[in-house]
Structure 1
Amino acid sequence: MNKKSFERKNELLNAALDEFTRKNYENASLNTIIKNASISKGTFYYHFQNKQTLYLFLLETAVKTKWEFINSHMKEYPPDSPRRDIFDEFKLQAQMGMEFAVGFPQYHRLSIMFSREKGNKIYEDAKTTLHLDTESMIREMVKKARTREDLTEKFSEDFMVKILTYLFTNFDEIFHLEEDFHLDKMVENLNNYVEFMKHGMGR
């Protein structure tokens, strides 16, 4: 890809990111994206087949960037750290995710907008295409945690996976006020959230 074509694609991606973070998938306008990117339709179709392929490309880029960020920071916390249980894992990964949100606010906003697509075809298409399966990741963590006896035997594996998956994937929907997006407040909410998952509300 020559320099001019690369610059055009970047302009297109920036315009698309702006549109998809302000509107849901259905209402996002490809014509608006093309206009704001100051490119021709021919240039758009040179890079992408349609609005969906553009949207999926942005989601994939956001996911890859996020996990590269998390994995690079997780190296500071080796798995054999003293008594690191599943809840410590949640805290570490979520805290890295929050730092990512502060550093890459548009990608974070895109992920929030995507989570609101639940129930729509684009959500299922994206999950299938990008292999976004949080439940499988949580199940693997639960299996390891049960082996280490981090979790109670009172509840079945399926029950814990479903509950933890729901709690893990809906954090942003629970804490959605503007003040909640300051890093200090996010970390405070996260710590309380994980403590709630670990100990519940009982005395």
Structure 2
Amino acid sequence: MFSKFLNLDKEKQDRIINAAIKEFAEKGYARASTNEIVKEAGISKGLLFHYFQNKKQLFLFVFDYCYELVVDEFYKKINLQETDFFIRMRQAIIVKMEMLSTYPDIFKFIQEVFMEESAEIKVEFDKKKSELTHINIEKAYEGIDYSKFRDDVDLTKIIKMISWTFEKMSDEAIEKAKLSPTHEIDYQKVQAEAEEYFEVMIKCFYK
């Protein structure tokens, strides 16, 4: 679908992608302007729509590009040889915090996607986000030593409870960000709150 764009030289691809990330991150999908994107990228609007049929197609491409970049980088940094469940989860948070400082615009864009309310893309993106979350939870838990958990509890239910807890934390952080003028998430606060939950869960669920 995007073969024309992918045949461009890397420098031109990067200019278009970076311009789109910046515009979508700052304004969200509905308010983002393709006029601003082409101005920032230094190309004509006709050329942009030669590569992407419309704004929605561009948005979909940029989301997939950013998500794949972040996930690939995440799994390069995290130690999947670590089998302790909570150490692995702590690592995941630390890696994400490091990546936030390395790719602030990309994370801001992905954050905006998760807050997106535009009817034009909401259903499609809600489904995509659900599928991606499920895939990455499975990969993040791969190789975990579940023998450390207590024998007198239902492990499946515990893992669900832990996942739901952190999903709810994420949802609350996003809802708070929606209400702020800058849409900024206080990741340091989220990390501190997660650490408090880790301590409680280790005491409750480990032997």
TM-score by length of structure 1 reads: 0.71
Assess, with a 3 A threshold, how the Cα gap between structure 1 residues 124 and 143 changes in structure 2: closer, same or farther.
Answer: farther
Q: CA deviation at 1:21?
A: 0.8
Aligned counterpart in structure 2 of residue 17 of structure 1, from 21, 33, 37: 21
Alignment-derived partner of residue 100 in structure 1 = 99
Moved more, 20-29 or 118-127: 118-127
Alignment-derived partner of residue 32 in structure 2 = 28
Alignment-derived partner of residue 68 in structure 1 = 72
Q: CA deviation at 1:45?
A: 1.8
**Separation (CA, whole Å) in 1 of partners of 2:137 and 2:49:** 38
Aligned counterpart in structure 2 of residue 50 of structure 1, from 54, 66, 69: 54
1:89 aligns with 2:88: yes
Alignment-derived partner of residue 157 in structure 2 = 156
Assess, with a 3 A threshold, how the Cα gap between structure 1 residues 154 and 36 changes in structure 2: closer, same or farther.
Answer: closer
Q: CA deviation at 1:94?
A: 1.9
Assess, with a 3 A threshold, how the Cα gap between structure 1 residues 131 and 138 changes in structure 2: closer, same or farther.
Answer: closer
Assess, with a 3 A threshold, how the Cα gap between structure 1 residues 115 and 36 changes in structure 2: closer, same or farther.
Answer: same
The question of whether the paired residues in 2 share the 8 Å contact of 1:19 and 1:29 is answered with yes
The question of whether the paired residues in 1 share the 8 Å contact of 2:85 and 2:146 is answered with no
% identity of equivalent residues: 20
Assess, with a 3 A threshold, how the Cα gap between structure 1 residues 121 and 198 changes in structure 2: closer, same or farther.
Answer: farther
Aligned counterpart in structure 2 of residue 40 of structure 1, from 20, 41, 44: 44
TM-score by length of structure 2 reads: 0.70
Q: What amino acid maps onto 1:196 in structure 2?
A: Y
**Separation (CA, whole Å) in 2 of partners of 1:146 and 1:100:** 27
Alignment-derived partner of residue 110 in structure 2 = 111
Residue deviations 1:155-179, cap 9 Å, x none? Answer: 8368526623524633753886979
The question of whether the paired residues in 1 share the 8 Å contact of 2:28 and 2:112 is answered with yes
Gaps of 5+ in 2: 1-6
**Separation (CA, whole Å) in 1 of partners of 2:8 and 2:32:** 29
Alignment-derived partner of residue 123 in structure 2 = 124
Alignment-derived partner of residue 167 in structure 2 = 166
Q: What amino acid maps onto 2:88 in structure 1?
A: E
* 3-state DSSP of counterpart to 1:170: helix
Q: CA deviation at 1:53?
A: 1.5
Q: What amino acid maps onto 2:23 in structure 1?
A: E
**Separation (CA, whole Å) in 1 of partners of 2:45 and 2:185:** 40
